[in-house]
Amino acid sequence: MPEGPEIRRAADRVEQQLAGGTIEHAWFAFAALKPHAISLIGRRVARVDTRGKAMLTRFDDGRVLYSHNQLYGVWKLHRADTPPQTSRSLRARLVVDGRATSLYSASNIAMWHADTLDQHPFLARLGPDLLSEAVSAEDVLARLNDARFKRRGLGGLLLDQSFVAGLGNYLRSEILFFAGLHPKRRPIDVDDEQRRRLARYILALTWQTYRSAGITNTPEWIEDAKVQGETRPQWRFTVFDREGLACHRCQTPIARTMVGSRRLYLCPICQPE
């Protein structure tokens, strides 16, 4: 499933595609959305933002199209007269000045109003979105110290969208590596400086991944990995999906484990239990 940075980048592309004009065509596959198709003609897309792994297409009349890609959903951008060749099922399409955005395969789509969006059953449970809201490292630190979260194992906590929204499986492994923490550790188990370091990396790595289109590794380690013949899927991360490969820092083989029924990667030396 795409994580927060990938959804934020997709939202940027959708917003750019639909910016600068009025909607000339709208189409929805689901019966509950079909009445909105005609009334959106002539409206504008005010902006497209995200909450965690959900995308929010905001129209200038206050309506908000909520969509969650889940495992298979994908937005495709194209000219209105040249739809993509795909076997996926079309769920929604918006056209502005001949530029189209089409959502395929997603099943979780609904129209809301901005005034009631906080009542959405999924969005209401989310913590702050690191990319679409003004969230500081101090804000993240405060959540690590919160009674709801401080006794939770970090391996599970970092996937809990009520803690912060948008983190997923690869970011979990990468954040814990850079913070030097084992997934079994809890916020309450570590000292103030370790919690501060963890908060900084939660924020910084999420933004780095967004800006770099999926790279969490450092430039120096990337160059070393390329010299060793590693391909992009290997060198883009520090530990994730690198089982058996050498740790960039200490050369110990990266280990794989399961936490919360999902795979997690770590360095046994840099992240002692």
Please report where in the chains the tokens 């504008």 appear, as a residue.
Answer: 44
Tokens of 267: 């360095």
- State the catalytic residue, choosing from 8, 9, 51, 53: 53
Cα dihedral sign, 256-258-263-266:
negative
Contact 159, 261 (CB under 8 A): no
In the residue annotation, 53 being an active-site residue is answered as: yes
Tokens of 149: 């979260």
Q: Residue 82, Cβ neighbours under 10 Å: how many?
A: 9
Q: d(Cα 133, Cα 53) in Å, to the nearest integer? A: 14
- State the catalytic residue, choosing from 2, 128, 183, 187: 2
Measured in whole angstroms, the distance separating CA 195 from the mean position of its chain's CA atoms is: 22
Contact 66, 110 (CB under 8 A): yes
* DSSP β-ladder status, 63-68 and 54-59: antiparallel
Looking at residue 84, the DSSP 8-state letter turns out to be: -
- State the catalytic residue, choosing from 3, 6, 15, 174: 3
Tokens of 157: 């906590």
Contacts of 9 (CB under 8 A, 6+ apart): 210, 213
Please calculate the CA angle 71-214-136 and round it to the nearest 5 degrees: 100
Q: d(Cα 136, Cα 144) in Å, to the nearest integer? A: 13
Q: d(Cα 114, Cα 103) in Å, to the nearest integer? A: 21
In the residue annotation, 184 being an active-site residue is answered as: no
- State the catalytic residue, choosing from 125, 148, 151, 262: 262
Tokens of 200: 């900084």
Q: Looking at the annotation, which residues are catalytic? A: 2-3, 53, 262
